[in-house]
Amino acid sequence: MHSQDDMQPEARLARSPKAGVAVLRGGMAIEGHAPVVGLPLRFLITGMLALGLGVGLLVLRPDLLATYHYNQYVIAVTHLFTLGGITTIIMGAMYQLVPVALETPLYSQRLARWQFVLHTVGFTGMVGMFWVWNLPQVGHFASILGLGVGLFVYNLARTLRQSPRRNAVTGGIASGLGWLVLTVLAGLYLAAAKCWTFSPFAPLAQMHAHAHLGVIGFFIMMILGVSFKLVPMFALSEVRSWRRAAWAIGLVNAGLAGLFVTILVGSLWKLAFAGLLIGGLAVYGGEINAILRARKRRQLDWGLRYFVTALAGLLPVAGLGVVLAWPRLPLTALTTQLENVYGFLALIGVVTFAILGMLYKIVPFLVWYHRYSREIGRQKVPALADLYSARLQALGYWLYLAGLLATGVATAFGHAPGVRWGCALLAASLAVFALNMGKIFSHLVRPKPSPLMVPMATPGIAGASHLTLTP
């Protein structure tokens, strides 16, 4: 149990009869809940640094993608991307998005702060120990990370219990949390199986099963679940069919469960479960397409374009997955390199690209809310879009796509110089992204509100008091 001090300050206010905080009919309290900027930001910034470091390493060591993936350096860099980059960002994003996605405040910020320490120590230690291939130490650091993951899952599970809804959003998040726990357990099993040879499964099959759990079960599932809330919100639309959304989550879950087992035991049935999983993704794509077709804002902003393009990347990844799962696929230099392409496109082409798009939504709001929400109606506050440069977003988008294409092709043919150039394009895109993030973060240091120029002529209506209009 947590003491009341563990709860957020807003939640304590809500319990005070004098506070008069919002109360939802039916007896459920809605705590005044401000997004606390420091907590999600420390995760997001750490994750962004890890992604930058990962791409930088690939520029320096293109052989990691240009040669077969079963070696210590590839495993180290992969965990830098997956644990240090993507997982850290998703965790930070979840701490920020919980109030909106689940319509309830986060259960405990204190647990989240402790989790950050455990997570950061855990993943940095793991990456370092993978690099020098010290597996007992990998296991120790993985245990620290696992403890942090336990806090994260417990915190979000308690938050989910408080949520007033049960739909594809909560279902997707709950599924993602479940898969995350299984991924960590599978990873710990892998490390133990390397230290003590007791596992009946083939080492490569174990690793591939573990990877699919993490990438599809946690990363893709969280993206699916949260997108049912965020895409309609930002595209000015609504979920067209909650039943279809639920089917998507269910089919992906069923497909992944079967895929995990069949990869592990080397069964030919993996193709059937891959088909089931792809069916779930197709249903998801159908719902997202319906949401976007019904949108009131015709032009997608760049954040959503990043996200939608990343989702489209699921098509080639799924196609490649089917090819690689095909029975009696000949083991050639090309097919083994295609496994690298498959992993690269899934992690960098789909998950990371989608996350970059979502960061363009999450980070500006976080900074804007922290800096300007108190000034609304009192001073002229900038719009969200004023915090960053759309031109830089566009430049980063095209650099990223070019980098993906170049790196993917070069990886397929094991062409190290090509991989280096492709990753350099990705690094350039991330540098542009960092520049834009710097513009956003500069508002934390130098806020730019200005006095109201026009008196409040139209009471109660936004914008009427602080606009400059060019005729």
Partner 1 sequence: MSQQIVTLDVREDLRLGREPFSKIMGAVAQLKPDQALLLIAPFEPAPLYGVLGRQGFTHESKAVGNGDWEILFRRDSGDAARLDRGTAKGAAAAPTAPAPGPRDIRVVDARGLEPPQPMVVILEALQELPAEGELRAHTDRKPMHLYSQLLERGFTGQTDEQADGSFITHIRRR
Q: Which residues contact partner 1 (rule: CB under 8 A)?
A: 10, 13, 19-25, 30-35, 99-100, 103, 105, 233-234, 236, 238, 296-302, 365, 368-369, 373-374, 376-378, 381, 383-385, 390, 454, 456-469, 471
Of 24 and 405, which has the nearer Cβ to partner 1? Answer: 24
**Min separation Cβ 303 and partner 1, Å:** 8
Q: Which helix (H) or strand (E) holds 90?
A: helix 88-102
Of 30 and 431, which has the nearer Cβ to partner 1? Answer: 30
Ordered alpha helix ranges (H), 196-269: 203-212, 221-235, 242-265
**Min separation Cβ 57 and partner 1, Å:** 33
Of 243 and 322, which has the nearer Cβ to partner 1? Answer: 243
Of 117 and 378, which has the nearer Cβ to partner 1? Answer: 378
**Min separation Cβ 103 and partner 1, Å:** 5
Neighbours of 384 (CB within 10 A): 18
**Min separation Cβ 465 and partner 1, Å:** 7
Nearest to 95 by CA among 180, 146, 46, 38: 38
Q: Could you give the count of Cα atoms lying within 13 Å of 260 in the half-sphere of its Cβ?
A: 18
Nearest to 155 by CA among 198, 196, 108: 108
Nearest to 81 by CA among 43, 120, 53: 53
Neighbours of 183 (CB within 10 A): 25
Radius of gyration of the chain (CA): 23
Phi, psi for residue 379 in degrees, rounded to 5 = -140, 165
Give the single-character DSSP code of 67. S
Of 405 and 462, which has the nearer Cβ to partner 1? Answer: 462
Tokens of 231: 């895409």
**Min separation Cβ 240 and partner 1, Å:** 13
**Min separation Cβ 91 and partner 1, Å:** 19
Instruction: Say how far apart CA 433 and CA 47 lie, in whole Å.
Output: 13
Read off the amino acid at residue 367: V
Instruction: Say how far apart CA 242 and CA 133 lie, in whole Å.
Output: 47
Of 46 and 465, which has the nearer Cβ to partner 1? Answer: 465
Of 24 and 444, which has the nearer Cβ to partner 1? Answer: 24
**Min separation Cβ 132 and partner 1, Å:** 45
**Min separation Cβ 381 and partner 1, Å:** 8
**Min separation Cβ 203 and partner 1, Å:** 46
The dihedral sign for the CA sequence 330, 335, 336, 340: negative
- HEC profile of 324-382: HHCCCCCCCHHHHHHHHHHHHHHHHHHHHHHHHHHHHHHHHHHHHHHHHHHHECCEECC
Of 2 and 391, which has the nearer Cβ to partner 1? Answer: 391
CA angle, 251 then 279 then 297, to 5°: 95
**Min separation Cβ 448 and partner 1, Å:** 15
Tokens of 66: 């240009």
Nearest to 30 by CA among 113, 95, 99: 99
Of 73 and 369, which has the nearer Cβ to partner 1? Answer: 369
Which residues are CB-neighbours of 460 under 8 A, at least 6 positions away? none
**Min separation Cβ 379 and partner 1, Å:** 11
Of 13 and 185, which has the nearer Cβ to partner 1? Answer: 13
Q: Which helix (H) or strand (E) holds 450?
A: strand 450-451
The dihedral sign for the CA sequence 233, 176, 324, 281: negative
123, 82 contact by CB (below 8 A): no
Of 200 and 455, which has the nearer Cβ to partner 1? Answer: 455
Of 24 and 132, which has the nearer Cβ to partner 1? Answer: 24
Nearest to 416 by CA among 131, 59, 55, 81: 59
**Min separation Cβ 445 and partner 1, Å:** 21
Instruction: Say how far apart CA 325 and CA 274 lie, in whole Å.
Output: 8
